[in-house]
A and B are shown apart, each in its own frame.
Chain A
């Protein structure tokens, strides 16, 4: 029997009938490939650097005797938690997760278009819904693992100057677990929300920098926006979930934070909407590689 006949027999051996079982196998296959790419490729280096930056700051804060003003960095555990809330809100959520999601999720499709390799996916017998979902889940997992780990490590480093006893006491009393859970939940929702938006803009815009700069501008200035516009800002919904409310400065338009369920379901709704839009865009994608 020739190689060709043998291969033909093998190819037909397991009857691949389209249906949930096949879709699940395809989803897992794409997820594994994309997760590997998002986590271990050269492009992932930027995300590692982003995730390490807050860890570095907390490590310095933990081992530093005092700050430049002469006093201790953390005056008390309450003050430390407030500082954590501030750093989490400004640096981890507003910058690290935002830029990290932009990098991971924009690359999912736009990266492959720029590498001229998207056609390999489009030439496989995969429903576009499966392809988009698998890629999105891979990006989400990568983002959450990296930035979730970053949040956990920073949170643990926060307790270092107060000793392990304080950490154990806070864990058992539930303060630490509740706060850490909330921060992790916000990180997950941020990855979901920003990720789905950046995945869609990655397909929609030839130059992905334009939406990133526009969204960054919108998110940075959300605090001065009127209430009717604030609701279109992801960070407004996420900041409403923070365990410690943040002061947004003298220029901020003060508005009561949205109810928790609105923030959570709003983010899930945004995610569903943008993933559906991505599927639509992918179905109408014309593979025509041009110079950047």
Chain B
């Protein structure tokens, strides 16, 4: 009898539930992200905006303080969906883009470059749990800098405003969560799809940046030359603007130029981009490598 037959016994005990295996990928990927000092700095700078807005809301409701600056409550703008969109959501959208630009393309490309896919996928981990594990990192971090502080601000404002403010503005928390999650998930999946093609992190980042920039400019150019819906379909940010205005019930005149696109089409646009990216990912993430 060969020696290995005497010594080797396969594991026959219970396996951990699939979700916990996804969380293993999430945990390690999250730890990797925080190895970058640049990202840690960015993450804390991102939290400065909600901190500033928190102070602003406090001052807004502090009559004594306002009177010291000769400001009466009537001089101040009303805090509603539009104010939340302008002060919180729009800057957060840019921060989320920068976050995904920084870490999104670095999630998958190193695993592909180092031929780690066969190692991952030879364990009881499938493509879906691999992608989910990586995506969870971006959702988790993105949430921490977008809708989580957004909700805190909302409840602070509701507490200080009292009366019926909470009931009148219930769309704000829903809008904050949905807008942020749609933007994070769609951008992240596109970033993953790019990094699944480009094995070098830097090149993947550049390609992702190029694609988003190109789509926005192309959308704007098509709008100016041809007009119509076709202009917005390629521009992800246009879809986000439409979705955000609708969900926050914001005043589009105050927001500036908002594309004349149906909300349904904006949702469809996000779904199409995400699905296309997922298709690319499932095609590229395989348990074997192709040698030239």
B224 within 8 Å of A (CB atoms): yes
Asked whether A46 lies within 8 Å of B202 as measured between CB atoms, the reply is no
Shortest CB-to-CB span from B277 to chain A, Å, is: 17
| Size of interface on A: residues with Cβ below 8 Å to B | 34
B210 within 8 Å of A (CB atoms): yes
Q: A67 to B224, alpha carbons, bound, how many Å?
A: 10
- Within 8 Å CB of A83, what residues of B? 225
Interface residues on B, range: 20 to 34
- Provided the pairs A95-B213, A292-B200 are in contact, do residues A209 and B206 lie with their beta carbons within 8 angstroms? yes
Q: A83 to B44, alpha carbons, bound, how many Å?
A: 44
Q: A225 to B273, alpha carbons, bound, how many Å?
A: 35
Task: Produce 1/0 per residue, B193-228, CB < 8 A to A.
Answer: 000000011110111011001100110111011111
Task: Produce 1/0 per residue, A79-108, CB < 8 A to B.
Answer: 000010011001100111001001100100
Q: A111 to B201, alpha carbons, bound, how many Å?
A: 11
- Provided the pairs A73-B225, A292-B200, A292-B201 are in contact, do residues A103 and B206 lie with their beta carbons within 8 angstroms? yes
Asked whether B214 lies within 8 Å of A67 as measured between CB atoms, the reply is no
Q: Which residue of B202, B207, B222, B230 is within 8 Å of A207 (Cβ)? A: B202
Interface members, chain A 189-241 (any B CB < 8 Å): 207-209, 212-213, 216
Asked whether A114 lies within 8 Å of B203 as measured between CB atoms, the reply is yes
Asked whether A99 lies within 8 Å of B210 as measured between CB atoms, the reply is yes
Asked whether A73 lies within 8 Å of B226 as measured between CB atoms, the reply is yes
Asked whether B225 lies within 8 Å of A99 as measured between CB atoms, the reply is no
Closest to A220 in B: B213
B259 within 8 Å of A (CB atoms): no
13 contacts across the A-B interface (CB closer than 8 A): A50-B214, A53-B218, A68-B226, A68-B227, A68-B228, A69-B228, A83-B225, A95-B213, A99-B214, A207-B202, A207-B205, A209-B205, A216-B209
Q: Which 3 A-B pairs have the closest CB atoms?
A: A68-B228, A68-B227, A209-B205
Q: A61-B226, A91-B221, A114-B203 are in contact. List 20 more A-B contacts (CB 8 A).
A: A43-B203, A46-B210, A50-B210, A53-B218, A67-B227, A67-B228, A83-B225, A87-B225, A90-B217, A90-B221, A95-B213, A96-B214, A111-B203, A114-B202, A207-B202, A208-B206, A209-B206, A212-B206, A216-B209, A292-B110
